Homo-oligomer: A and B are copies of this chain.
């Protein structure tokens, strides 16, 4: 089979270099163009020396015609960039996977309020498929435009959805206490992400409201077919990669024991290549998924009370970004869903 002709817009940040790492060893993909206004002319391996000898391509000036020759274009750009170029590419028959947030929220007013800009192509939001394969695999197969989920939303939704879909919890008071490594803040130079500011410290941030809140709520409410009351607090933890979500909810029925719930999670995800339900009593560590596309989940019911605690870990740059984008590509192009993603996590 011919390789998929692929382009990347952006790609100078951490999701970009991670996407390049994954594509470098993906035998079904031919990367034809990678565009960056700021780095045009630079070899990607000069910007990202881990790619030396693995990736022989240079950043070029954005050029929509070059992109139109691709079968697939990834956007690894800041929010608000993809929406300006997507219509032209889609019309030209190119499939698009946007790793940013432009097409994740169906309610345009909500999106505009949280992202602080006017949406450039609301009509494409409607047709975009939210790229969480565990929920939307069939739609992804047919999609022309895939909105790759955010990192927190991936970890939280995979953790909460089985409880919600099975109506096992009270949705009046859901808590998602989430912790992210610093790579989630991106590769831009900022004082707050300096080693001297972010190491040897821990903090909550964006407690009044984080952009991933409406995305998570949309997913949970779609499953619940009703409103949910979710409190989401993200935290910055002093490491490079990884997200841990600790999820709290009250069970709404006495009928479900912890072992029932354990079985239910195992069954829900039994055919999923990238969701791993750990044995009862486990405490997943983010490092056990480092560099891989896995989400590892454990379920607890402390002191046999009526509170369920779900622990969910991913690598924010892989299952939370570039890896999930490759998984979506594999599905959309009818490849083996694990192609290019069969990576053993790096430990220690």
Contact = CB atoms under 8 A, between A and B. Distances in A.
Interface in A281-318: 281, 283-292, 296, 300, 302-303, 305, 307, 309, 311, 313
A62 B154 CA distance: 43
Interface string A39-57: 0000000001111111000
A196 B238 contact: no
B177 A195 contact: no
Nearest to A193: B194
Interface string A197-228: 11111111101110000000000000000000
A311 to B, nearest CB: 5
Of listed A17, A49, A54, A281, residue having the most chain B CB within 10 A = A49
Interface stretch (A260-268, A320-328, A339-347): A339-347
A242 to B, nearest CB: 6
Contact of A239 (B24, B238, B300, B303): B238
A230 to B, nearest CB: 9
A144 interface: no
A246 B240 contact: no
Contacts of A296: 52
Of listed A209, A302, A309, A346, residue having the most chain B CB within 10 A = A346
A93 to B, nearest CB: 31
A149 to B, nearest CB: 20
Interface of A: 14, 17, 21, 24-25, 48-54, 173, 175, 177, 179, 181-183, 187-191, 193-205, 207-209, 229, 231-233, 235, 237-242, 244, 246, 248, 250, 276, 281, 283-292, 296, 300, 302-303, 305, 307, 309, 311, 313, 342, 344-348
